[in-house]
Chain A
Amino acid sequence: MSNLMSGARMLLECLVREGVDCFFGYPGGVTLPLYDAVYDHPMRHVLVRHEQNAAFAASGYARSTGRVGVCCSTSGPGATNLVTGLVDAMMDSIPVVAITGQVHSKLIGSDAFQEADTFGITRSCTKHNYLVKNINELPRIVHEAFYIAASGRPGPVLIDIPKDVFQGQAHYSPVSAIHLPGYKVPGEGHTGQIRRAAQMIWDAERPFVYAGGGIVSSGASAELRELVELVDIPTVCTLMGLGALPGSHPNFVSMPGMHGSYAANMGMTQCDLLIALGVRFDDRVTGRLSAFAPRAKVIHVDIDPAEIGKNRVPDLPIVGDAKRVLRRIIKVLRELEPKMRDVRAESRRAWWRQIRQWQEEHPLVPAMSAHEIKPQHLMTEINRLANGRAIVASDVGQHQMWAAQFIRFEEPRLWLSSGGLGSMGFGLPAAMGAQVANPDKLVFAVVGDGGFQMSVAELATIASNGLPVKIIVCNNGCLGMVRQWQELFYNNRTCAVELEAFPDIEKLGAAYGIKGRTIERPEEVRPALEEAVREPGPYLLNVKVSQCENVYPMVPAGAALNEMVLAPPKPVPVPK
């Protein structure tokens, strides 16, 4: 049997070997040979309407499954359009492989038609990137790319492939081993450090777990649960970590940070031991760093040594995979349990009483109104229908924070949100990618009217692929988060935030063959959402929410977590 094949075909063979069942892309001049190979190959290709959304869809695919998401674009404009999606995957540590076409290798550097220095442009947007110069290198590079994307701290990897490499013919021999001498994947952590961590946990009077996206990417939810149950530790999950501990779990306090709950932020401030697991002490979580967890010793478990001490110098660093490290910590905790169980038990009970008291003093209560739909009300109704099991992809802005506050997730990989980069336009394509990967799951795209319009073109992809995504537009007619900051920190001089001329959603939906509806009365929320979920296909629900609602609690930029503002200033009555 001859194994002589084109580079395009070879690429598809390698994708199959990596377990890829589908990729998101947009064709163009230099990827014509690739699409010619896709023509009679079983590999599924989802044609998006903009390359940025191919990257976001691949990210949604990866976030919801843990498998590597694949996106593809042509050279030049196709590749530059991928960039936002790549940076997004980089910031949130999402395994994505991007394949870009490049002009013929003899034309590289000649300012050829649709040429861009993709390799140079994406150097800082990726965990690693490749320019394939020789067809014989292609299989090795593809397998290295998948390995790098998925292992260690996951991230995006880009492979730039010139047209002549796609077209060339070569004998394909499967790659059996990958050799990357400069790439080290941390493992199970240092034994001595793990023993010390376990001792510190039993010794703590006010321990607090700060769990993040690393728990999700390492698949360590079960271990996290075991840890916090064993020593009964209150736990917060960051925006990236929501679902790492079930939302209904008694130890789950809520989300910390800029729009975190009072109890979560007070817990961070008052604890004497902060157990930071797969987190990077992001500024949106810590507030003013010098006042963050001032009384706490910090144990920091992370797979990326560069995260250790980057923002907060830990008292005990452990470099390793969260799942394996937690397993070992739990083992030592159990060994120490008979001796240590009761030593600090009374203090830990008092600590819990304190946390419960904070929760009661300032609970996260959704705003409700009889006259207008409060966005928080909308989120609680989505929460009711999602029941902790549906996938919710959010966009970026106020609705994202309300969704994070009021929608509870019972499992990891259900909450898909652009955390680090905060890229608007993420929600719709991410939901699309997640629905492709999980055809039988209920998938909500909870988006604002701003972000929705940034990726509105993907309604065509959703319609043509029959993806039953439930698109809920939390529509306040403006760029709410920007307006909130202008109100609070720029003397209410609102500028360039009103989004007028939002399309008639019934007509917009009808134009794509998607059912659409607009609601504006509070009593309509529940039946409308139920109708959306009942609909077998996609559904577009435009929810006109209160225009002036702001997200609280809020830690102003530069403030400490315990200086959070809990509610808006009392309104001054305006004489009529």
Chain B
Amino acid sequence: MLQVISLLVENKPGALMRITGVLSARGYNIESLTVARTLDPTLSRMTIVVDVEPSLRAQVIKQMNKLINVLQASDLTDGPAVLREMVLLRVRAPMESRTAILKEAEIFGARVVDSSVEGFALEASGDPEKLDEFIDVMRAYGEIEVTRSGLLAVSLEPKKLRLSPPIPTRNEALKTKEVVTTE
């Protein structure tokens, strides 16, 4: 079963390797992984989707929380959370189907980011199932090329609103991180 893990990690060399190591050491395959800095450049936010046996989900989170570079790992699989993904899609579009493609793109809320005589490059975001449909529809118009971002997730649980773990309050620098990550 797919598990969605959100991590707040120190932006340090090797941090990614340690986190994926927890998964690879147990033979789990990563479905998607996104990483980017938070507004605090010393920290990164990571969202991992991984196929884990349900009974071992808690253990995976605990093992990740043990890593020195991980400030917080949480399981967003069952909790209230917004899950979004972005797709960049090129479609080869002969002149007669261009209008139809644009209509379909509009239905899915996709934007045209490039247009040429060959076809379009489209950008769409949304929940992953909707993007699957979008891709299926576009495939019907001809050859396509797809790049997906992987899942981004944010928890909606009130107590998890502060996406930083409890950290010494006397440290002002870290206090600002808490504010930053709630945005």
Contacts and interface: CB of A to CB of B under 8 A. Distances in A.
Given A123-B18, A123-B21, A182 B62 contact: no
A123 B65 CA distance: 16
22 contacts: A120-B17, A123-B17, A123-B21, A124-B21, A124-B25, A127-B68, A128-B68, A129-B14, A131-B13, A180-B68, A181-B167, A182-B9, A182-B10, A182-B69, A182-B71, A305-B65, A305-B66, A306-B59, A306-B62, A306-B63, A306-B65, A308-B62
Contacts of B63: 306
B66 A304 contact: yes
A183 interface: yes
B99 to A, nearest CB: 52
Given A119-B14, A123-B14, A179-B171, 13 more contacts: A123-B18, A123-B21, A128-B68, A131-B14, A181-B174, A182-B10, A182-B68, A182-B69, A184-B165, A305-B62, A305-B65, A306-B65, A310-B59
A77 interface: no
Given A123-B18, A131-B14, A309-B58, A148 B66 contact: no
A362 to B, nearest CB: 36
B70 interface: yes
A184 to B, nearest CB: 8
Contacts of B101: none
Interface in A518-546: none
B50 interface: no
A71 to B, nearest CB: 20
Contacts of A179: 171
B67 A182 contact: yes
B59 A148 contact: no
Interface string B160-183: 000001010001001000000000
A122 to B, nearest CB: 11
Nearest to A133: B13
B9 to A, nearest CB: 7
Contacts of B10: 181-182
Nearest to B20: A123
Contacts of A183: 68
Interface in B34-75: 58-59, 62-63, 65-71
Interface string B17-28: 110010001000
Nearest to A305: B62
Contacts of A133: 13
Interface in B103-148: none
Interface string A181-200: 11110000000000000000
Contacts of A129: 14
Contacts of B58: 309
Q: Counting chain A CB atoms within 10 Å of each CB, which of B59, B165, B171 scores highest?
A: B59
Contacts of B70: 182
A216 B14 CA distance: 32
Nearest to A310: B59
A129 B165 CA distance: 23
A308 B68 CA distance: 19
Interface in B1-18: 9-10, 13-14, 17-18
Interface string A115-127: 0000110011001
Q: A-B pairs with the 4 shortest C-beta distances?
A: A306-B62, A182-B71, A128-B68, A183-B68
B69 to A, nearest CB: 6
A184 B68 CA distance: 8
A119 B68 CA distance: 15
A181 B71 contact: yes
A155 to B, nearest CB: 10
Contacts of A128: 67-68
Nearest to B67: A182
A179 B9 CA distance: 14
Interface in A298-316: 304-306, 308-310
Contacts of B171: 179
A575 B66 CA distance: 62
A309 B56 CA distance: 10
Contacts of B67: 128, 182
Contacts of A184: 165
A133 B13 CA distance: 10
A305 B65 CA distance: 9
Interface in A138-180: 148, 179-180
Given A181-B167, A181-B174, A148 B68 contact: yes
Interface string B69-101: 111000000000000000000000000000000
Nearest to A119: B14
Nearest to A157: B68
A129 B14 CA distance: 9
A304 B62 CA distance: 9
A123 B174 CA distance: 27
A310 B71 CA distance: 21
Contacts of A309: 58-59
Nearest to A129: B14
A478 B152 CA distance: 58
A14 B67 CA distance: 24
A323 to B, nearest CB: 21
Q: Counting chain A CB atoms within 10 Å of each CB, which of B10, B59, B62, B68 scores highest?
A: B68
Contacts of B18: 123
Nearest to A148: B68
A310 B21 CA distance: 18
Contacts of A127: 68
Contacts of A123: 14, 17-18, 21
B166 to A, nearest CB: 9
A179 B13 CA distance: 17
A572 B62 CA distance: 53
B169 to A, nearest CB: 12
A309 B10 CA distance: 27
Nearest to A120: B17
A179 B42 CA distance: 13
A412 to B, nearest CB: 25
A384 B71 CA distance: 51
Contacts of A308: 62
A305 B167 CA distance: 18
Contacts of A181: 10, 71, 165, 167, 174
Nearest to A311: B59
Nearest to A144: B68
B108 to A, nearest CB: 39
Contacts of B13: 131, 133
B61 to A, nearest CB: 9
A306 B64 CA distance: 9
A303 to B, nearest CB: 11
Contacts of B66: 304-306
B42 to A, nearest CB: 9
B76 to A, nearest CB: 19
Contacts of A182: 9-10, 67-71
Nearest to A153: B66
